[in-house]
Chains A and B, each alone.
Chain A
């Protein structure tokens, strides 16, 4: 095995033990996605997805650099790319546990990647969905601290979020993920 690996994105050779290219910071082994077409593009998308590069595909699908054909692999890339971004959102629930009439705020940072265009909050009480709210992303704002006016009693409540991307009018979303639970 060669001790150097070629980065297709910038032409730099890297030590084979590196995870990302020393120059362009792309994960080593992700094929080039720009300027390829037809079957070559299909193969590149599949390979990128397999090697952990779903975000690169998703960002190109979202901004049109890769044409959207609504294929299953494209949808999977977007869903995985969205799911990968949830951990970097730093979701925080703020309330006063000693105050029964506490005001509840749910805050989060939007991910760095622009593919998430909105977020759906789902409210669950006693394992039943009792409401939801969609918050669109404002590109001028880095974070949101949302006053949850409808939540006047936290006991038994669970909050789920689903990140959403809109491509060519189609909304693709992650499966709902628990962000905080006060359920006992």
Chain B
């Protein structure tokens, strides 16, 4: 390999999206984002000197477990892009911003659901979670995990400290591949995002304003953040 060779990565990407009422503009951005997503991400990665071998995308959505019970969450399977882009678009087009009332929301349970995704174990893989919210999050343990979505709820973290350990704290790798895992958070400067953003490994936090959608998280910002995290 020469010093100028471009490494190609197999990217598994999970969007964890707050779909409460105030997130309408962001959900519209995500609907735009998934059109031609593989080609656009490839272009941004190329500009960062990285190659995209292939791309799988999954979507997890959340509202408030306290208000809506198990219906607070929805999750797709992984879509292989670009071949299954129409299926991904169909799933994303079905997302509507509603409910949630006031913050906090149940983002941490959704993050756990994303962490337990069926990631691929291939060479040069990257397992990236992109979380988009404009609210703080309920502490874990306040509501029980809905059993139909959280099959392994016995090992599910009961508080943020346990969740950090499950994410991985040097030298323990946690439930994800330590080399592949990445977390990109678009969230306000509020609990628990400031703590996670500053202290979790391989995490990038882009602060937004609470209750106002996800700041200026336009498509380019999201794409660049993903590409830089690879």
Contacts and interface: CB of A to CB of B under 8 A. Distances in A.
Contact of A160 (B7, B171, B197): B171
Nearest to A129: B171
A46 B221 CA distance: 13
A180 to B, nearest CB: 9
B224 A176 contact: no
Given A20-B47, A76-B198, A88-B49, A51 B3 contact: no
Given A19-B47, A76-B198, A52 B179 contact: no
Contacts of A128: 171
Size class of B's contact patch? Answer: 20 to 34
A85 to B, nearest CB: 10
Interface string B174-194: 000011000000000000000
Contacts of B178: 177-178
Interface string B206-229: 110000000110001100110010
Given A90-B3, A177-B202, A178-B179, A51 B221 contact: yes
B44 A19 contact: yes
A78 interface: no
Contacts of A51: 220-221, 224
A124 B178 CA distance: 13
A158 B171 CA distance: 9
B230 interface: yes
Nearest to B216: A50
B206 A49 contact: yes
Contact of B179 (A50, A83, A177): A177
Interface in B148-177: 170-173
B128 interface: no
A84 B207 CA distance: 19
B224 A127 contact: no
A90 B1 contact: yes
Nearest to B5: A90
A86 to B, nearest CB: 10
Interface residues of A, number: 31
Contacts of B220: 19, 28-29, 51
Contacts of B49: 88
B54 interface: no
Interface string A101-122: 0000000010000000000001
A175 B44 contact: no
B26 to A, nearest CB: 14
B224 A27 contact: yes
B221 A50 contact: yes
A144 interface: no
23 contacts: A19-B44, A29-B220, A46-B207, A52-B221, A52-B228, A76-B197, A76-B198, A80-B204, A83-B202, A83-B204, A87-B50, A88-B49, A122-B171, A129-B170, A160-B171, A175-B170, A175-B200, A176-B170, A176-B201, A177-B201, A177-B202, A178-B173, A181-B179
The 5 closest A-B pairs by CB, nearest first: A52-B224, A175-B201, A124-B171, A178-B179, A176-B170
Given A19-B220, A51-B220, 12 more contacts: A19-B224, A49-B206, A52-B228, A76-B205, A83-B202, A90-B1, A129-B170, A129-B171, A175-B201, A177-B202, A178-B173, A178-B178
